[in-house]
């Protein structure tokens, strides 16, 4: 399969499939396609469906197959930002919930529970994220521009709520309370920060949806 990503900051993913090639996406993700793309809707089994309910995704996924020759299908971003391609053959990948857009055959989408309760309840990323694994390419949505860091073993990065978009499966995530009562209460950064520990890659996003929602709320509250 060949693909291209066009149009930041309102990107679209264009996928060009050979005959009988397949691509899977979340329900409702398709934007436009050629007439020979056949759609089949599946849940992936009870366990996967239940896990996807926890991540906030639809329990259904659509698989599109190019029939009788080459086909094309497009997936537009749901929010201003970036679309990033990830080769999961290199290792598991953890993504913010609702970050998954589409994937080639061989990529498995499942639930990634945060093992440390604090990270789930106070880290801002949620107790449940999405895990991508298997063989193939996955495409994820990033809110705004993406900044990548490569952490060595034991190296840490402190991230404000909502800015963590994705990370390697080898990374771990926990929370850290802001030091000093005055800093926590009046610093404007909240009581907790997310702490990501390597080894692995970390992908941060510059315009988290929650920050946009907060700004809009404050604007209407004035």
* pLDDT per residue as tens digits for the range 8-50: 889 999 999 999 999 999 888 999 999 999 999 987 544 455 5
- Look up the CATH number of the domain holding residue 88: 3.60.160.10
What is the number of helices (H) and of strands (E) in the chain? Answer: 4, 19
Query: Per the structure, how many domains does the chain have?
Result: 1
Rounded to whole angstroms, the Cα distance separating 99 from 167 reads: 12
Which residue, 160, 153, 155, is CA-closest to 175?
160
Mean pLDDT by 10 residues, the chain (222 residues): 92 97 92 97 60 58 96 93 94 91 93 60 60 96 95 96 92 78 50 89 90 60 52
List all residues 6 or more positions away from 81 whose beta carbon is below 8 Å from its beta carbon.
8, 9, 11, 141, 142, 143, 144, 145, 146, 205, 207
Tokens of 43: 């849940």
Residue 190 belongs to what domain range?
2-221
Q: What is the pLDDT of residue 128?
A: 74
Residues 137, 88 contacting (CB under 8 angstroms): yes
- Provide the whole-model pTM: 0.81
Q: Please name the residue that has the structure tokens 């709520």.
A: 161
Query: Cβ atoms within 10 A of the Cβ of 154, count?
Result: 8
């Amino acid at each position: 399969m060949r693909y291209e990503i066009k149009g930041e900051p309102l990107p679209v993913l264009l996928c060009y499939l050979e005959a009988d090639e397949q691509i899977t996406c979340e329900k409702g993700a398709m934007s436009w396609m050629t007439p020979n793309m056949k759609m089949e809707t599946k849940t992936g089994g009870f366990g996967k469906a239940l896990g996807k309910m926890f991540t906030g995704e639809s329990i259904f996924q659509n698989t599109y197959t190019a029939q009788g020759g080459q086909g094309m299908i497009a997936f537009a971003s749901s929010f201003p930002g970036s679309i990033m391609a990830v080769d999961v053959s290199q290792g598991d990948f953890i993504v913010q919930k609702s970050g998954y857009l589409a994937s080639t055959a061989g990529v498995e989408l499942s639930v990634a529970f945060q093992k440390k309760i604090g990270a789930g309840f106070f880290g801002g990323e949620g107790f449940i994220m999405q895990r991508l694994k298997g063989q193939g390419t996955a495409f994820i949505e990033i809110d705004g521009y993406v900044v990548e860091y490569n952490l060595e073993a034991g190296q840490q990065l402190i991230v404000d709520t909502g800015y963590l978009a994705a990370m390697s499966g080898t990374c771990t995530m926990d929370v850290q309370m802001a030091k000093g009562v005055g800093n926590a209460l009046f610093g404007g950064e909240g009581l907790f920060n997310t702490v990501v520990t390597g080894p692995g890659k970390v992908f941060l996003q510059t315009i988290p949806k929650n920050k946009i929602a907060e700004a809009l709320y404050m604007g209407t509250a004035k």
